[in-house]
Structure formats: structure tokens, C-alpha cells
Amino acid sequence: MSVGRRPGPAIATVLIFLMGAAFLTQVVPYGQILDSRRQVAEAHEELAKLEAENVSLEADVAALHTDAEIEKLAREKLGYVRPGETAYVVLDPPGTPDDTEPVEPPPEPEDSTWVDRVWDFLSGGDIGS
């Protein structure tokens, strides 16, 4: 007597496998689509910033074509004066806080063992010190 196997579990397994494959083939491209949309939104934001900067730079270029702006820049940047004017340069006295960089006190020596110092040397932890 031959025992007949029912095709139900095999068909169910194949269907589950096919549904899983179909699901994966739809999820991966959907994630890529979402990522592409995010990149497009970021590109639009960057474009808006660049266009605003471009408008500002175009206004600066237009201002540079005026005699008043050229004179202002020559006075500010190059120290030019008109004939008959006297130019004064005010210097900060030496030793002002703007001239000197803050000096950090040296780090206090740590109470570390020779094992800690060797480990710091081998792992590169002593480089930042």
C-alpha cells in the first residue's frame, strides 16, 4: 500500500517563500526610493541656500560698480585718504588680551602605575597628552 502525501504543506511552503521573495523585492526598492526622496529634499534646501547667497553676492558685485563703494573699500582695506586729509592708525598697546593667547597650565601629573604608562604607550593613549 502506498502512502499518498498531501501536496498542501508543500504548496503552502512554496507560497510563503514566493510571498517573502515578493515582499523583499518590493521593500528594498521602496527604501531606496525613500532615500532618494530625502536626498532630493536636501539638494533642494542646498539649492535654496546657494541661490540666496548668489543674490547677496550679485548685490555686492553691483555695489562694487559704484564710486562710493570703491572709495569706502579703499579707505577701509587699503588706508587710502584724499589729498588734504590726515590718516591716523590706532594700535592696541602690547600685552592686551587680544594679542596674547591664553596659556593653559600644564596638566598635573597623574598617579599612575608603570603598567598604566606602558599600556598608554602601546595603545597610543600618551599621544594626546
Does 1 score more than 50 pLDDT? no
Question: What's this model's pTM, rounded to 2 decimal places?
Answer: 0.42
pLDDT of res. 88: 85
How far CA 100 is from CA of 10, 89, 96, in Å, comes to 82, 21, 7
| Whether 74 contacts 80, CB under 8 Å | yes
Q: What is the pLDDT of residues 42-97, one digit of tens each?
A: 999 999 999 999 999 999 999 889 999 889 988 888 888 989 988 888 888 887 66
